């Protein structure tokens, strides 16, 4: 009796097994389509690229480096996105000298094909273009630490003493010097020469050629010039 029941059950399970398997595959495929096909939205930052800057001009002031983009797509696709997948391109070919408001539309954002950019924030960028200028500025060395006790810092020289910078005219005019990276003179007992990197000034001003200078620091022994000391 048990064998007959078991055989009947097995026969029922195996009967039309091809159709049952096909139904299972179709159901699983539909489930994937529903779950993966659900639409969603996220907001990511996008790097701004300024294209076709007119010859002889430069962007001045705090030009935005990034904007926020609202993106729509399948949730499975959205989970894979990062800010590196987006670039907002701003064409400034027709912008002249001075201040200007430049509009930024969703179709100016380069994005993966399986997502849609709905909006950009801010949608308008305030930009300033100025003529390019160059100038020679003084190099100021930065010293840290103190020499060995009984020694003092004497003459400090820099080679070369000035370097050329390039940038928007108003920013170049306001720059008179550039500093070096810190030079540690802790425990020094004699003259030293160190290669020091130049620290770029904030803003759009950039070094044109040199990125480092040689700094020579004269460290001398202190002598007691008061009575009773005598020369050594």
Alpha-carbon distance of 107 to 16, in angstroms, equals: 53
Of 35-39, 112-116, 134-138, least confident by mean pLDDT is 35-39
Q: Highest mean pLDDT: which of 1-5, 18-22, 40-44?
A: 40-44
- pLDDT band per the 50, 70, 90 thresholds, residue 231: very low
Residue 31, CB half-sphere, CA atoms under 13 Å: how many? 6
pLDDT for 195: 96
Residue 61, CB half-sphere, CA atoms under 13 Å: how many? 11
**Res. 48: pLDDT tops 70:** yes
* 39-122 against 131-221: fold identical: yes
Give domain limits for the chain. Answer: 2-36, 39-122, 131-221
Domain 131-221 architecture: Beta Complex (2.170)
Report yes or no on whether pTM surpasses 0.85.
Answer: no
Across 77-123, where does the E strand assignment appear?
A: 87-91, 98-103, 109-110, 115-121
pLDDT for 5: 43
Closest alpha carbon to 129 in 104, 102, 100: 100
Tokens of 188: 């020094």
pLDDT for 62: 82
Kindly state the percentage of the chain with pLDDT values over 90: 63
Domain 39-122 has CATH 2.170.120.30: yes
Question: Could you report how far apart the first and last alpha carbons of the chain are, in Å?
Answer: 121
Q: In the predicted model, what is the mean pLDDT of residues 15-42?
A: 61
């Amino acid at each position: 009796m048990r064998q007959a029941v078991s055989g009947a059950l097995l026969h029922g399970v195996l009967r039309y097994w091809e159709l049952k398997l096909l139904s299972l595959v179709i159901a699983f495929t539909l489930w994937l389509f529903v779950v993966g096909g659900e639409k969603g939205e996220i907001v990511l930052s996008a790097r701004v690229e300024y294209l076709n800057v007119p010859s002889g001009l430069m962007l001045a002031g705090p030009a935005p480096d990034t904007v926020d983009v609202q993106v729509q797509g399948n949730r499975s696709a959205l989970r894979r996105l990062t800010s590196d997948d987006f670039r907002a391109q701003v064409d400034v070919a027709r912008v002249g000298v001075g201040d200007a408001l430049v509009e930024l539309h969703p179709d100016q954002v380069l994005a993966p094909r399986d997502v849609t950019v709905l909006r950009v924030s801010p949608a308008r960028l305030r930009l300033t273009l100025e003529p390019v200028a160059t100038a020679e500025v003084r190099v100021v060395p930065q010293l840290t630490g103190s020499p060995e006790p009984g020694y003092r810092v004497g003459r400090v020289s820099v080679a070369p003493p000035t370097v050329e910078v390039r940038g928007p005219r108003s920013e170049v005019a306001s720059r008179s010097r550039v500093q070096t990276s810190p030079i540690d003179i802790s425990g020094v007992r004699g003259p030293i020469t160190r290669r020091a990197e130049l620290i770029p000034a904030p803003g759009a001003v950039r070094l044109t050629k040199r990125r480092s200078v040689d700094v020579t620091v004269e460290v001398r022994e202190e002598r007691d010039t008061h009575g009773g000391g005598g020369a050594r």
